[in-house]
Amino acid sequence: MTGKTSTVSVDDKQVEMAVKPGSIGPSVIDISKLYAQTGMFTYDPGFTSTASCESKITYIDGDQGVLLYRGYPIEQLAEHGDFLETCYLLLYGELPTPTQKADFDYRVTRHTMVHEQMTRFFQGFRRDAHPMAVMVGSVGALSAFYHDSTDISDPHQRMVASMRMIAKMPTLAAMAYKYTIGQPFMYPKNDLDYTSNFLRMCFGVPCEEYKVNPILSRALDRIFILHADHEQNASTSTVRLAGSSGANPFACIAAGIACLWGPAHGGANEAALQMLQEIGTPDRIPMYIAKAKDKNDPFRLMGFGHRVYKNYDPRAKIMQKTTHEVLSELGIKDDPLLDVAVELEQIALKDEYFVEKKLYPNIDFYSGITLKAMGFPTSMFTVLFALARTVGWIAQWSEMIEDPSQKIGRPRQLYVGEPQRDYVPIAQR
C-alpha cells in the first residue's frame, strides 16, 4: 500500500488501512475493506467519527468556528454576495462572472411559477396544518407534476430539476404560509430579485401594490446565504441516502425537509423563540439555566450547542448583527425577547457547565427574533431554513450522483436481539 496507512489490530490480526488526506481538515482512515478482512464492522451511532463521503462543497472547522463554501468564508459571502450567487457557487464550484450570474438569475427566475394544479393540491391540507407538513407533502408532490425532470441518469434533466427546486421553493413556502392564514396565493413577480419576490409572495395581497423594503430583503437574503449549506448534517445525509437508491430529486429533497423539521436540527429556530417567550423576562433566566444543567430534566437551551462547532458558530455572529439591523430598520427599540436573548447568552457563556461542554449560541439562537420582527410566524421559521438549504441539498445530491464510484448507502448494525429460535404456534404461547 502506498501513502500513509493506519494499522488496526483485530484479535491477532494486523490490518493495514489507507489514510486519505483532505485538502484541509482531518484525514480519514479508509475502513471500507475492514469487514472483508476481519469480519467486523465499526460502530459509531450518530456518526460522530465517521465521514460518509468525499465532498468539495463545504468545509467546517468546528474548533476554530470556520465555515467555507467552496473555499470562500461565509463572512465574505454574506457581506458581499447575494443568495443566487451563493447558489451558483455551491452548484458549480466557482463564483459566477457577470454574464454567468445574469444567465443563472434569468434561468431561476423563469422557473418560479408552480403548476396551476398545485393550488388545488394545497386545498387537500387542513387549514391549520403546520407549514412544514405542507412543505414535505408539496415538495414530494413536485415529482408528480414534473415527470420530464425525474430521470436522474440524464444530466439535462438533473439540471432542470435543480433549477426548478431552487426557483419554486419560495413560491411553495409562500403558498404554505398564505394557505394557513386564508389569504389568496400570490403569483411570483419576475422583475423582483429572488428574496424580494419571496417577501412579496408572503406579505403582499392582490388588491394592492407591495413595496419591498430593501433593507429587510437584503437581511433575509443574507439569512438565506447563512443557511445555504452545512456539509453532511442530518438532513443533507438524509438527502444523500435517499438519493443513493436512485430516487428522484424532488422526493429526496422532501426527505431532507422531513429530517430538517426536527427540533435538534432546523426546528431549533422555532423552539428557540418559543423558549425565549417562555422565559419571558431576564429575572427568570437562572431558573432555565438550572433546568438546562439538570441531568434529570430533558430541557435544553435551544439555539445552544452544536455537533461540530465547539466555538462560536460563525453564522450566529452574522445573524446577531442582522438581528440588530432588522430591529433598527423596523424601529423596534425595546424587544423583550432580544433582552432575554442577550442576557441569556451572556450568562450561559460565563457558566462553567456551558464553558466546559463548549456550548455556544448557534445560528438558531438569533434567527427567530429576526424572522419574527420581519412578520413571519414561528411555524414558518423552519420553512425558511428549508428554502435556503434546498440549494445545499441539491449541490450535495448532484455531487453524489456524478461520482462514478457512488453506490447505495447501506449501513450495517450491531445486532443485540434474540438469536435464532423456533416459531411457537399461537395456541401454545
With respect to ligand CMC, which residue has the nearer C-beta, 17 or 395? Answer: 395
Q: How far is the CB of 4 from ligand CMC (least distance, A)?
A: 28
Q: What angle do CA 288, 292, 295 make, to 5 degrees?
A: 135
Nearest-CA neighbor of 390 among 188, 64, 111, 185?
A: 111
- Among residues 82, 229, 313, 364, which one is catalytic? 364
84 binds ligand CMC (CB under 6 A): no
CA 151/CA 154 separation, integer angstroms:
6
Residue 266 binding ligand CMC, by CB under 6 A: yes
- Among 306, 322, 373, 383, which residue sits at the site for ligand CMC (rule: CB under 6 A)? 306
Nearest approach, Cβ of residue 45 and ligand CMC (Å): 10
Q: How many residues bind ligand CMC (CB under 6 A)?
A: 20
What would the x/- binding string for ligand CMC be over residues 280 to 299, using CB under 6 A?
------------x-------
Strands 28-29 and 13-20: antiparallel
Told to check if 239 binds ligand CMC by CB under 6 A, we report no
CB of 329 to ligand CMC, least distance (A): 25
Please report which helix (H) or strand (E) contains residue 73, including its range: strand 72-73
The CB-of-424 to ligand CMC minimum distance in angstroms stands at 41
**103-118 burial, b if ≥16 CB within 10 A, otherwise e?**
ebbeebbebbebeeeb
Residue 265 near ligand CMC by CB under 6 A: yes
Our finding on whether 344 is near ligand CMC (CB under 6 A) is no
Residue 363 binds ligand CMC (CB under 6 A): yes
The alpha carbon dihedral of 142, 147, 148, 151 has a sign of positive
Chain residue whose CB lies nearest ligand CMC: 305
- The least distance separating ligand CMC from the CB of residue 230, rounded to whole angstroms, comes to 6
Which residue in 359, 380, 386, 401 binds ligand CMC (CB under 6 A)?
Answer: 359
Cα 225 to Cα 235, 237, 304, 358, 389, distances in angstroms: 17, 20, 21, 25, 9
Long-range CB contact pairs, 92-97, < 8 A, 24+: 93/56, 94/70
422 catalytic residue (yes or no): no
Residue 386 contacts ligand CMC per CB under 6 A: no
Least CB distance from residue 358 to ligand CMC, whole Å?
8
Helix (H, G, I), strand (E, B) or coil at 398: helix
Catalytic residue among 130, 230, 265, 306: 306
CA separation for the pair 228, 77 (Å, rounded): 11
| Alpha-carbon separation of residue 295 from 9, 13, 132, 285, 291 (angstroms) | 37, 42, 31, 18, 8
Stretch that binds ligand CMC, among 58-66, 125-133, 251-259, 356-364 (CB under 6 A): 356-364
How far apart are alpha carbons 400 and 252 in whole angstroms?
12
- Closest listed residue to residue 344, CA positions, set 289, 294, 299: 289
Distance CA 341, CA 347 (A): 10
C-alpha cell, 263: 427540533
Stretch that binds ligand CMC, among 93-101, 141-149, 162-170, 260-268 (CB under 6 A): 260-268
Is there a catalytic annotation at residue 306?
A: yes
Footprint of ligand CMC (CB under 6 A): 230, 233, 264-266, 268, 292, 300-307, 357, 359, 362-364
Q: Which residues are catalytic?
A: 306, 364
